[in-house]
Structure 1
């Protein structure tokens, strides 16, 4: 059989279409239901694998000096093996998130203030749902003894999480990890 231009064009088009990727993530109804139960019960914890600080000249200098964990860059730092969490238990939210980045003003660094830490009942707590993806978006304000934080959390049906933390004294930072139920001890 002799191939002509039409056959080659159809073959190339078919390969191109079949190799294309879909940007839409499809979640099962079971995954969406599991996420709904976690958020509704207000009983979940997030452990992050990555911290993503705002890339500044200082972070670039630290990265170039080789002071970051292996496999990390100035704007993506591995947290594997480092204690970190954000927990929601009823109306109380607590967090210990290692901070990498710059302070904007005041506060100073002491032995207890290098991580983002808070515990309490948040203000302006709001949950919204993205109907297309089934993900949940949680936002709230919370304070510790020296700082105020505005926190935005996105939880996906595959149980991945993104946390964005805006502070009154530090540059913005993001965390990426997994959400799971709080296990009884």
Structure 2
């Protein structure tokens, strides 16, 4: 009988601690995010890159070339310069790319990172049930077209997914802030 009461107590503590750990979104956070999205003027700095896990990525991990704390599916970007900025209908970015290329790289291999600069096309915004926003659009680098999806949360966390024509898809997580 005593083990049953101990198990019940542990389950109750776990249930209530999970319930209290859920954070409530404030009206100020919701309004700040809404303003960022409406103004189309924000910048994202990523802390992590999430490439597709492949045998080639496993070989890169085994070579010791990835930053400390990284795995084939999650690469630490802290301390590495990266950004994605939306300003009106324009985009600029420098995002380190980890993954496989499906076509040849131009001579000199100067397009290793995802460097976007230009006008966004097919820009759509969808508001989620948790006061988050998903922004989808297309953009081009010098040599490739990308379909991009950005999800922004009231906590100002971000999740970016890029699908390119000549590379494996990759995602990034980080923070969003007003640009300027």
Is 1:129 equivalent to 2:127 in the alignment? yes
SS in 1 for 2:31: helix
Match of 2:160 among 157, 160, 163: 163
Report the TM-score, using the length of structure 2 for normalisation: 0.90
**Which segment drifts farther, 109-118 or 15-24?**
15-24
CA distance in 2 between counterparts of 1:159 and 1:47 reads 11
| Alignment partner, residue 55 of structure 1 | 53
Question: CA offsets per residue over residues 115-136 of structure 1, 9 Å max, x none?
Answer: 0011111111101100x21001
Q: 1:108–1:29: structure 2 CA closer, same or farther, 3 Å change rule?
A: same
Q: How does 1:1-20 map to 2 (within 5 A)?
A: 11=9, 14-20=12-18
Partners of 1:98 and 1:6 lie apart in 2 by 53
Counterpart in 2 of 1:68?
66
Could you tell me how far 1:13 is from its partner in structure 2?
5.3
Q: 1:6 to 1:63 in 2, by over 3 A?
A: closer
Equivalence for 2:175: 178
Show the counterpart of 1:89: 87
Q: Aligned partners of 1:94, 1:56: CA distance in 2, in Å?
A: 28
1:98-177 matches, within 5 Å, as: 98-108=96-106, 110-130=108-128, 132-177=129-174
Question: Contact 1:138–1:153 (CA<8 Å) still a contact in 2?
Answer: yes
TM-score, with structure 1 as normaliser: 0.87
1:5-34 deviation line (CA, Å, top 9, x unaligned): 997686455334324457965311110100
> Quick one: structure 1 residues 109 and 136, their matched pair in 2 at CA, closer, same or farther if it must change by over 3 Å?
farther
Q: Which residue of 2 aligns with 1:26?
A: 24
List runs of 5+ in structure 2 lacking aligned partners: none
Give the alignment's Cα RMSD to 1 decimal: 2.3
Aligned residues: 180
